[in-house]
Amino acid sequence: MVTRHSIREMQRSSVRILLAEDHIVNQKVALGILKKLGLSADAVANGIEAVKALETIPYDLVLMDCQMPEMDGYKATAKIRDQQSRVCNHDIPIIAMTANAMTGDREKCIKAGMNDYLSKPVNPQSLAKMLEKWLPDEKETSGSTHEPVETKSRAQENGRKTAALVFDKTGMMSRLMDDKDLAKIVISGFIEDIPIQIKTLKDCLNSGDIASAERQAHTIKGASANVGGEALREAAFNMEKAGKTEDLAAMTAALPEMERQFTSLKAAMEKEA
């Protein structure tokens, strides 16, 4: 965990963090955690905006979502590392953030030029450790690539599989560091946004656009994990896996379950409100 002393040191040195994340719920969660740690960040919605921001502002670290529209995190990282690009610092630490949990994803992030890895949903402890690792000590290191770190669920750590909860409020509040006001904002944004995401997903499926449908399922998965919607996250993950094998029929067949889980999650959230 980042200590009070190290956070004060970060504040005194005016640390600048850039968050590249396209989904508003995930943005709010990450910015909320940073705020509770006494830090702030500028947020952009895609890789193009991230590269543009890095051309004008000398940031100290980038939190980079891997899957974003227009330019994803991998392509943005390649642009940042390109010595011919106009970014201020080609060697800036880039921390990958992804809801992927598939073989090879960790290695893909490092191969793309990212320095480290955080799996979503990002929790305060993991993010704090990453900041401690790459901000205060960055100038003292030789710039060598570190092995990525991947967080695991409690079920994974215990080597067992448990039934997914409709609404893991305890987990959500832990990620939000028990900030009830932030939780209300995040839940409200989630309930408002996910129907739009599902509508877009339906349109992609109806038009046969598997790649875009897979990306939408990935987005829904990440947002669901952040708010503790484990059953919805699992439904979205199953659809994403079907997309990776280009199985349009399986994706379409999985849609009703996703909609059902969102309805259940929304009801559980409103009951808790």
Given 151, 184, 207, the domain boundary residue is 151
Task: Tell me the mean pLDDT in the region 166-175.
Answer: 94
Together in a domain, 147 and 177: no
Q: Is residue 141 scored above 90 in pLDDT?
A: no
The confidence score (pLDDT) of residue 12 equals 44
Q: Which residue has the tokens 């040191």?
A: 9
Domain boundary among 98, 123, 151: 151
Range of the domain at 230: 169-272
Please enumerate in sequence order all residues whose Cβ is within 8 A of that of 55, keeping only pairs 6 or more positions apart, or say none: 85, 86, 87, 88
Same domain, 121 and 234: no
The amino acid present at 89, given as its one-letter code, is: N
CATH of residue 238's domain is 1.20.120.160
Cα 77 to Cα 92: distance, rounded to the nearest angstrom? 10
pLDDT digits (tens, 9 = 90+) for 217-236: 999 999 999 999 999 999 99
Which is more confidently placed, 252 or 37? 252
pLDDT for the residue numbered 104: 75
Same domain? For 56 and 141 the reply is: yes
Does 251 lie in the same domain as 212? yes
Res 144: pLDDT: 37
pLDDT score recorded for residue 10 = 53
Whether residue 119 sits in one domain with residue 222:
no
Question: Where residue 52 sits, what CATH number does that domain have?
Answer: 3.40.50.2300
pLDDT band at 147 (very low <50, low <70, confident <90, very high): very low
Residue 259 to residue 155: CA distance in whole angstroms: 25
pLDDT in tens, 99-118: 765 667 788 899 999 999 99
Inside any domain, residue 159 = no
pLDDT over 50 (residue 160):
no
Q: Are residues 105 and 229 in the same domain?
A: no
Judgement on whether residues 174 and 105 belong to the same structural domain of the protein: no
Integer Cα distance of 138 and 270 in angstroms: 44
Closest CA to 187 of 121, 99, 271, 269: 269
The predicted model scores a pTM of: 0.79
Q: Are residues 26 and 104 in the same domain?
A: yes
Average of per-residue pLDDT values in the chain: 86
241-246 contact pairs (CB < 8 A, 24+): 243/210, 243/211, 243/213, 243/214, 243/217, 244/102, 244/214, 246/210
pLDDT digits (tens, 9 = 90+) for 15-66: 999 999 999 999 999 999 999 988 989 999 999 999 999 999 999 999 999 9
- pLDDT score of 58: 93
Q: How many domains does the chain have?
A: 2
Q: What is the pLDDT of residue 7?
A: 53
Same domain, 35 and 133: yes
